[in-house]
Structure 1
């Protein structure tokens, strides 16, 4: 059973998906939950705080639903090639961000990032998380001699942004017949990346 905070977050998500983030007021959220607007302030000081809490909650929920464990490089690397590792990591991220609630949330904030500062802030934060996680992965792969990078930090930025762009492209052209082609494109990119950064 949902607690009150979760009810508020999910009500806000439903309203934002229906009306757009900028058109949703705290009063509307309170009405949907069946509480008075002042009661919302027991949970969130502002609409911006509510949206940021929604992002964290939905991200953690999606991560759990996609069965993404805490990073253990020894387990992740055991008996795998560099390509298999990247396929597993990228596949996990795609599974996580494809969960219904987080995908709805991303669609809302993507559409409003140019007019809602909180939406732009969240998208920038997600990109920064992706880049940092990729940097950590690449340093570990370098140490384990799975890949070699002349500049691991910039390689991580380039990789994360390319994967992100390919995922966006896949979402934009998500017809079933084309989906397989886009998955193939992602796999081709990962294979190329491993060849380009192979340990000599």
Structure 2
């Protein structure tokens, strides 16, 4: 499939930024890789900052699709066990991070979080905040359906998801280095099993 010059700039910039960081990449380097003149880039983006912003906004939109719509939750949660739901959620996260573009965007966010206010906002609001809010709703419903013990659902969301975030960061680092991920994947499975053993109704 043929992609436009703007898309080439986008994906090549993403590749370079994710490897070297935003500050380590010049407009000249981007245009050389794309195969256009420096002046031609400004027909598509006003600045390097605008390219980065477009990448982050794309990530924001794309990542939001990893969570099912709230209006479908009741049906999903009634059909699935707690274990199968959590495993499916983990599978979606891993699938996103195994995608080459997803890996690069995740890595870029990690690299830029202390330089870019937008990167920090996405990590704190979209990755952490929205995921915890979503899981709080999920655990509230599981309690209503008497599938889990009646603990504070927000605490459950935090206790479950923060180790997942940490282990997925480790997973992404190993993938970047071309190292095996079997051990960290085992840790993720063990985390789910331990968590389920704590919250499931006996």
Q: What SS class does the counterpart of residue 147 from structure 2 fall into?
A: coil
Mapped partners of 1:5, 1:145: distance in 2 = 51
Mapped partners of 1:154, 1:44: distance in 2 = 43
For 1:129, the equivalent position in structure 2 comes to: 130
**Cα gap change, 1:182 to 1:39, in 2 (>3 Å):** closer
For 1:85, the equivalent position in structure 2 comes to: 85
For 2:168, the equivalent position in structure 1 comes to: 167
For 1:199, the equivalent position in structure 2 comes to: 201
Question: Can you list the C-alpha shifts for 1:72-110, whole angstroms capped at 9, x where unaligned?
Answer: 324533543211111111111111122111212222332
Mapped partners of 1:106, 1:70: distance in 2 = 20
1:96 aligns with 2:88: no
Equivalent residues of 1:147, 1:198 under 8 A apart: yes
**Cα gap change, 1:170 to 1:36, in 2 (>3 Å):** closer
Normalising by structure 1, we get a TM-score of 0.76
Shift of 1:22: 1.2
Mapped partners of 1:50, 1:129: distance in 2 = 25
**Cα gap change, 1:103 to 1:154, in 2 (>3 Å):** same
For 1:73, the equivalent position in structure 2 comes to: 73
Mapped partners of 1:98, 1:63: distance in 2 = 16
Mapped partners of 2:37, 2:137: distance in 1 = 44
Mapped partners of 2:144, 2:49: distance in 1 = 41
For 2:9, the equivalent position in structure 1 comes to: 8
The alignment of Structure 1 onto Structure 2 pairs a total of residues equal to: 194
Mapped partners of 1:101, 1:91: distance in 2 = 17
**Cα gap change, 1:189 to 1:149, in 2 (>3 Å):** farther
Equivalent residues of 1:62, 1:99 under 8 A apart: no
**Cα gap change, 1:54 to 1:110, in 2 (>3 Å):** same
Mapped partners of 1:15, 1:148: distance in 2 = 47
Q: How does 1:1-200 map to 2 (within 5 A)?
A: 1-26=2-27, 28-30=29-31, 32-33=33-34, 34=36, 36-37=38-39, 40=42, 44=45, 46-58=47-59, 70-71=68-69, 72-125=72-125, 126-173=127-174, 175-176=179-180, 179-199=181-201
Structure 1 residues not aligned, in runs of 5+ = none
Question: Can you list the C-alpha shifts for 1:96-155, whole angstroms capped at 9, x where unaligned?
Answer: 122111212222332343344443333323222322332232233233332234211122
Equivalent residues of 2:97, 2:172 under 8 A apart: no
